[in-house]
Amino acid sequence: MIFSSSKSAKALGQRIGRLQQELETVLKADKALTRIWLWKNETLVLEYSTRYGVKYAFDVTCTADGYSLQIVGRGDPSKYAVRQRIGAISKAIKGRSNRLLEAWPLKVANRTLLLEIVTSIHRAQALMSVVPEHPDRFVPGYWWDQQNNFGDQIGPWLIEMITGRPAFNTIALPNAGRAVMTAGSIITGMNRPGMSIWGSGLIAPLDSTTVEKLKPRQPHTIRAVRGELTRAELVEHLEWEVPKVFGDPALLLSTYFQPLALEPEVSRPAVVPHYAHRKLFEAHSEKNDFDIIDVRKSPEVVVAQLADASAVASTSLHGLIIAQAYGVPWIRLRIADSHLVGEDFKFEDFYTTINREQVSEVSLAKDDVPKTNLVEILESASLPDSRYDVASLIRAFPYANIPKLPGQYLSYKP
């Protein structure tokens, strides 16, 4: 069906108007629905909220081609909650936080359209509305869990080893309060105030956009940060109080976890590609003179492999940090034409906690990785002297800021 511009706008407005009336009638008993309104005369917005603080909306958009039903979170924690809970039944929309649930051609009958929209909404709403429950002894943490990467799992693992209590992720809970943030460059994306920061870092220097985003999200306490660069950025641009206690918490793993070597007399070098660089190293997978470690495996497996290596070459920051923690010589592999987010910032931040002059690094182009003699590069690995203090970092762990009961960190609506 083809419309002229004026007739098109009028026809679409009439269609979406009729749909609004019908949806208001069908959904009037839905207590989670807070309001329905029309945006730009073409998108019907149905706003919802949950008992645990997540706010999200269903956008029903009508164009000359057809209808679409999308779901989007309101605010960073809610956007994360939508990705986390609706991911299996939706498609991500490139460049936007929305997720596409359904699409229909314009010729679809109104009765069928109404039925399918309502049932799609109810399915998604059921996933969004379940209140997360955790036993009293669980520790509220905060970590990125949308990518299989051992570095993101080190934080909750450390919390569990230090406290003897399981950790649960509050990144998608807007009202979760004082969760413990640990290993990783997660301060940059911190999505709410009131955190307890322990050894976390920034992914890059703070730009004006990130500063404005973080200003209203001031943490409850900062007990330690990854390195001096992170501290300088937070003090200078946000004027937050940051103690001079440094170190990525992953540096403490050797204190709490001592893996057993399967073959104590045999130790081989290892290469650790960042997950973004994994394919670049596939040509080396059949070689027997070193191991290629898959960072998508569980943290205890990856850490055990790193601790057992004779030397480590890594494009992943936590590959280097774990090697340092277990006294394994290491060398950073920089892929010169495949930059990670933030480029060198997080590496240089970590280097402020060791002797920077003793750091070994080598740069490779992507095309050179398959044909490079990595064993020869591994021979240049070194173990820099540490400048961090394990005891100080352990003492800085925010025991006193861990709530004991769910009611202390989740404020549900009545």
Mean pLDDT of 226-251: 96
Ramachandran assignment for 194, one of left (phi > 0), alpha (psi -120 to 50 degrees), beta (any other): left
> What integer pLDDT is reported at residue 10 of this predicted model?
75
State the architecture of 254-386 in CATH terms: 3-Layer(aba) Sandwich (3.40)
- Residue-averaged pLDDT of the chain: 86
> What integer pLDDT is reported at residue 328 of this predicted model?
95
- pTM equals 0.80
> What integer pLDDT is reported at residue 254 of this predicted model?
92
The reply to whether 254-386 shares the fold of 5-129 is no
Which of 166-175, 211-220, 330-339: highest mean pLDDT?
211-220
**Confidence at 286, pLDDT banded by 50, 70, 90:** low
> What integer pLDDT is reported at residue 84 of this predicted model?
86
**Confidence at 196, pLDDT banded by 50, 70, 90:** very high
Query: Tens digit of pLDDT for each residue in 5-17?
Result: 555 667 777 888 8
**Confidence at 283, pLDDT banded by 50, 70, 90:** low
Q: CATH class for domain 5-129?
A: alpha beta
**Confidence at 298, pLDDT banded by 50, 70, 90:** confident
**Confidence at 265, pLDDT banded by 50, 70, 90:** low
Sketch the domain layout of the chain as residue ranges: 5-129, 139-251+393-408, 254-386
Q: Work out the number of other CB atoms within 10 angstroms of the CB of residue 22.
A: 16
Mean pLDDT of 350-364: 95
Query: Tens digit of pLDDT for each residue in 129-168?
Result: 887 777 677 888 999 887 777 888 899 999 998 888 888 8
Q: Please say if the pLDDT value at position 118 is more than 50.
A: yes
CA distance 293 to 269: 10
Q: Are 319 and 312 within 8 A, CB to CB?
A: yes
Mean pLDDT of 86-103: 87
> What integer pLDDT is reported at residue 211 of this predicted model?
96
Q: Please say if the pLDDT value at position 407 is more than 60.
A: no
